[in-house]
A and B are shown apart, each in its own frame.
Chain A
Amino acid sequence: NAGVTQTPKFQVLKTGQSMTLQCAQDMNHNSMYWYRQDPGMGLRLIYYSASEGTTDKGEVPNGYNVSRLNKREFSLRLESAAPSQTSVYFCASRTPAGENTEAFFGQGTRLTVV
């Protein structure tokens, strides 16, 4: 089982360039999430999608857009990258809400904006 797959694993961008981070899950989960992780800041939620066709802003959505292409795929787009967006980005999917819910994470995309 692949679980949650993120591509690319590493990326260097110049300020002002655009790019899309890809995420796919093969666990048939409805909910998917994008986070960024900076030193000392834990995981901060950028956007989430509770089901196919819906997306909502998280804690730090500015500078990002998302697309829930289908149930499997949830992409994150940086239209005009800035050095402040240098971070490690994690995608996650989650089983239905309740006591047994569990989030599964990809291995991250390490993005540097110069």
Chain B
Amino acid sequence: ALTQSPATLSLSPGERAVLSCRASQSVGGSLAWFQQRPGQAPRLLIFDTSNRATGIPARFSGSGSGTDFTLTISSLEPEDFAIYYCQQCNEWPPGFTFGPGTKVDL
């Protein structure tokens, strides 16, 4: 299971956002982060803990290991106000789990 904190993060444009994801057991390096804007499909931001997906701005960064992971947005842009989900995969049998999400609010 994955837990995310805080549930809601209220910030202003230009501020730094730090989102936390904690796993109930070690997930190795296979943690990903997704952004979902209202009315849109989720979008992959970070894979394998710290690798930005194609086209993702450098203000997004991921870190962590074992059971504790962090998504950092260095300086919030207006389009960054959204819900962020972390996700991990069991090796075998494959099973994919999402965290409950963190809403970054204006």
A and B physically associate: no
